[in-house]
Amino acid sequence: MTDHFQQLYEQSDDPWQVRQRWYEQRKRAVLLASLPAPHMRHIFEPACGNGELTAALARQADRITATDLSPAAVQLTRDRLAGAAPGRVSVACQRIPHQWPADALFDLIVISEMAYYLNAAELEQLRQRCIDTLAMDGALLLCHWRHPFADRQQSTESIHGVFDDCPDLHRIARHDESDFLLDVWSRSPRSVAQREGVSP
């Protein structure tokens, strides 16, 4: 799988056209609008690809840690963020969930378009890694394509269901449409309005 993604990013700096396609631009906007707070202390984004989402997230964080299993993708993200957020962005080559940032605590973890490549055991490990490194007031966001494709190991519904079944997490937002599913969980069951004192 590593070789597959490395080859994709060596052939193109945007193999899924996340910059050009309105679908991708719109999905990114929906994702950002679904965050429970306008600013975060520390965001973690595994499977960062070429860094388009990373750049958008970096504008809303004091610090962002991004990883990808492809060295080519890591370099693209480093280049993309080089002048945008000096000293606030760390990008590393890691295979998730087997490797994970050490001794970190995150206010936001974004798992976007990657969990369907994992088998059931790896998905359980991913969930536990997220829980272990999520701050008490932090949020966990998952966003995944819903249609079949060759490398998919699990359906989007079953992936998000694994996180829904966790008693340590409370779903506070969902965006559901035919092409993708987006969910946000937190350790706290409080809604965005409740966090801001708008709702009891």
Alpha-carbon torsion angle 193, 25, 104, 138, nearest 10: 10
- The residues that bridge with 92 in the sheet, in sequence order, are 67
Query: Is 50 among the domain residues?
Result: yes
pLDDT tens per residue across all 200 residues of the chain = 566 666 766 767 776 688 889 999 999 999 999 999 999 999 999 999 999 999 999 999 999 999 999 999 999 999 989 877 667 899 999 999 999 998 899 999 999 999 999 999 999 999 999 999 999 999 999 999 999 999 999 999 999 999 999 999 999 999 999 999 999 999 999 999 998 889 88
Q: What range defines the domain where residue 36 resides?
A: 2-195
Query: Is 40 among the domain residues?
Result: yes
Query: Is 200 among the domain residues?
Result: no
Q: Go through the chain and tell me how many residues it has.
A: 200
Quickly count: other Cβ atoms within 10 Å of residue 73's Cβ.
Answer: 26
In this structure, are residues 185 and 130 in contact, taking their beta carbons and an 8 Å threshold? no
The per-residue pLDDT for 184 is 98
- The residues that bridge with 93 in the sheet, in sequence order, are 68
CA distance 39 to 63: 10
β-pairing, 180-186 vs 170-176, is antiparallel
β-pairing, 106-112 vs 134-145, is parallel
Domain count, the chain: 1
Query: Is 53 among the domain residues?
Result: yes
Q: What is the CATH number of the domain that holds 108?
A: 3.40.50.150
One-letter identity of residue 126? L
Query: Is 104 among the domain residues?
Result: yes
* Beta-carbon contacts of residue 151 (< 8 Å; ≥ 6 apart): 1, 4, 116, 117
Question: By CB neighbour count within 10 A (0-12 exposed, 13-18 middle, 19+ buried), where does 169 fall?
Answer: buried
CA distance 156 to 82: 33
Query: Is 21 among the domain residues?
Result: yes
